[in-house]
Amino acid sequence: MFEITYEVVVFVLGITAVLAAFGVILCASPIYCALYLIGNMICLALLFLLFNAEFIAAVQIIVYAGAVMILFLFIIALLGGKKEISEPSVQRSSAFTFVILLFCELLLAAAVKPTHPITGDMAPDVVNAIGSAKAVGIELFSRHLVPFELASILLLIATIGIICLAKFSYLPARRRLK
């Protein structure tokens, strides 16, 4: 009974995520595109939750659905999202070809045999004992420390670069007017 319900919920969530993703690329109004993307991200977070990854689900919602998408909406509101008028063009048709190719590639996945979970130190019973947040932390800061630090340095460089690009000169206002 529970198994069937679980499978059905996972399936419905997955389908909803795919439909929301389609909404992102097919919708004409930028506001609705952003909303579909939020819906997609919430679906992904719920899938994580169904696979017992509470921490990843919460982080997914905080970072992507919360912070990143609110910036998207902020920019859309600032620039005034107008509805696009769709007209057939070369880019459009090539984009659709690309999407169809990708979809065909995805169908190849059906030929792949059942997947196996990755085994490691963090077996489900260990994760249940210490909580998923701690499990992620232990993995991240012991075995994957170097890639993690490299990624953080990359982000820091990007931040400094953006500050350098966006910084306006500190000339007094009167001289700037000339």
Partner 1 sequence: MWDDILQFIDPVLDAGFIIGTVKAVVIVVALLGIVPALVWLERRLMGRFQVRLGPNRVGPLGFGQPIADSIKLLFKESIIQSSADKFLFHLAPAVVVFTAIVTFSVIPFGESFTVFGEKIGLWGANINSGLLFVFAISGMGVYGMVLAGLSSNNKYSLMGGLRSSAQMISYELTLGLSALSVIVMTGSLNLIDLVDSQKSLPFILVQPLAFILFFIAGVAETNRAPFDLPEAEQELVAGFHTEYTGMKFAMFFMGEYVNMVTMSSLVTLLFLGGWNSYGLPLWPILAFAGKVFFLLCVFIWLRSTFPRLRYDRLMTFGWKILLPLCLFNLLVTAVIKVL
Query: Segment 121-160, which members bind partner 1 (CB under 8 A)?
Result: 131-133
* Smallest distance from partner 1 to CB 145, Å: 17
For partner 1, the closer of residues 4 and 90 by Cβ is 4
Kindly state whether residue 163 participates in binding partner 1, applying the rule CB under 8 A.
no
For partner 1, the closer of residues 6 and 96 by Cβ is 6
* Smallest distance from partner 1 to CB 91, Å: 28
Of 2, 82, 73, nearest to 41 (Cα)?
A: 73
Query: Segment 93-122, which members bind partner 1 (CB under 8 A)?
Result: none
> What mask of x and - would describe binding to partner 1 in positions 30 to 49, judged by CB under 8 A?
-x------x-----------
Q: How many residues bind partner 1 (CB under 8 A)?
A: 23
Kindly state whether residue 25 participates in binding partner 1, applying the rule CB under 8 A.
no
Q: What is the 3-state secondary structure (H, E, C) of the chain?
A: CHHHHHHHHHHHHHHHHHHHHHHHHHCCCHHHHHHHHHHHHHHHHHHHHHCCCHHHHHHHHHHHHHHHHHHHHHHHHHHCCCCCCCCCCHHHHHHHHHHHHHHHHHHHHHHCCCCCCCCCCCCHHHHHHHCHHHHHHHHHHHCCHHHHHHHHHHHHHHHHHHHHHHCCCCCCHHHHHC
Chosen residue from 27, 50, 58, 122 binding partner 1 by CB under 8 A: 58
Q: Which residues bind partner 1 (CB under 8 A)?
A: 1, 31, 38, 54-55, 58-59, 61-62, 65-67, 70-71, 73-74, 76-78, 81, 131-133
